[in-house]
């Protein structure tokens, strides 16, 4: 049985080995980007069915962002939405026969978690400046500085181990069951995997959003507290 921690190298691109996960990631990226471009090419004030579906997706995303954090969704919609859609597509790519989801490999999840780590810094600095962002480490009081610094690393680590563990264990269990009884028996487990994939994508996006807004709110100047309720115009 193949180790779930190792990755299959398909071919060499100069000195860089290209693994199966990278090829799948590229395919998913291409499908998402080309799909998004093709679907948003002709937008109209009088929406067609296709445009209405897209608008529904965006508004669901906005509602989730507002309900989980209370922040205006405008600046975060792109990043969080892309994160959610990519992880969802990656988790569900196991439905295509012969494709192993790229999120079942450590590297992909680590890359996503690093992305979240950097975006927390980026949004934190953009909201409160470098000083405000540094001050957010001393959030309740300065005693917490080492703990907060440790937390900003460990929570990213736990995010990526969570995503990796959930997706990889699904793939692993299906592999074991399929080697015992190949026909029809793994199907309920695959259905469970779909649910796990959806929940994990949702949780990854929600946690990223929570971390970002925590950095933004703690780093922002105190005058921002005067109007906590987001107005619809800001969206």
Partner 1 sequence: MDYLRLASIVCAAFAVAFGALGPALAEGRAVAAAMDAIARQPDAANTISRTLFVGLAMIETTAIYCLVIALLLLFANPLLA
- 122 vs 172, which CB is nearer to partner 1? 172
- 3 vs 141, which CB is nearer to partner 1? 3
CB of 221 to partner 1, least distance (A): 29
Residue 204: CB atoms within 10 A of its CB come to: 27
- 2 vs 48, which CB is nearer to partner 1? 2
- 40 vs 63, which CB is nearer to partner 1? 63
Supply 235's token pair: 């969206």
CB of 202 to partner 1, least distance (A): 7
CB of 13 to partner 1, least distance (A): 25
- 127 vs 152, which CB is nearer to partner 1? 152
CB of 67 to partner 1, least distance (A): 7
Which residues of this protein are in contact with partner 1, per CB under 8 A?
3-6, 67-68, 158, 161-162, 164-166, 169, 199-200, 202-203, 206-207
Residue 114: CB atoms within 10 A of its CB come to: 12
Per DSSP, the three-state class of 12 is strand
- The answer to whether 87 and 103 have CB atoms below 8 angstroms apart is yes
Strand partners, 16: 13
CB of 197 to partner 1, least distance (A): 12
CB of 3 to partner 1, least distance (A): 4
Q: How far apart are CA 221 and CA 128, in angstroms?
A: 6
What's 143's DSSP letter? Answer: G
CB of 172 to partner 1, least distance (A): 8
Phi, psi of 9 (to 5 degrees): -90, 120
Q: How far apart are CA 183 and CA 168, in angstroms?
A: 21
- The answer to whether 105 and 7 have CB atoms below 8 angstroms apart is yes
- 64 vs 125, which CB is nearer to partner 1? 64
- 126 vs 162, which CB is nearer to partner 1? 162
For the range 92-96, what are the long-range contacts, defined as Cβ-Cβ under 8 Å and sequence gap of 24 or more?
92/194, 92/197, 92/198, 93/24, 93/28, 94/170, 94/171, 94/190, 94/193, 94/197, 95/190, 95/194
Q: How far apart are CA 208 and CA 87, in angstroms?
A: 13
């Amino acid at each position: 049985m193949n180790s779930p921690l190792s990755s299959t190298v398909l071919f060499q691109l100069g000195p860089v080995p290209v693994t199966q996960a990278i090829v799948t990631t590229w395919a998913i990226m291409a499908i998402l980007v080309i799909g998004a471009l093709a679907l948003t090419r002709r937008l109209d004030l009088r929406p067609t069915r296709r445009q209405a579906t897209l608008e529904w997706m965006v508004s669901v995303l906005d509602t989730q962002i507002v309900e989980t954090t209370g922040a205006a969704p405008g600046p975060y919609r792109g990043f969080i939405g892309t994160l959610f859609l990519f992880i969802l597509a990656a988790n569900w790519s196991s439905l295509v026969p012969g494709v192993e989801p790229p999120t079942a490999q450590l590297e992909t999840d680590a890359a996503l978690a690093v992305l979240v780590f950097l975006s927390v810094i980026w949004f934190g600095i953009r909201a409160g400046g470098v000083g405000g962002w540094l001050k957010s480490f001393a959030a309740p009081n300065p005693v917490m500085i080492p703990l907060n610094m440790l937390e900003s690393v460990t929570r990213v680590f736990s995010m990526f181990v969570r995503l990796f563990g959930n997706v990889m264990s699904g793939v692993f269990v299906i592999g074991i069951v399929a080697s015992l009884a190949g026909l029809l028996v793994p199907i309920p487990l695959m259905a469970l995997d779909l649910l796990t994939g959806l929940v994990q994508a949702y949780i990854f996006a929600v946690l990223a959003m929570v971390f970002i807004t925590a950095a933004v709110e703690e780093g922002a100047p105190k005058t921002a507290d005067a109007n906590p309720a987001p107005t619809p115009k800001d969206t």
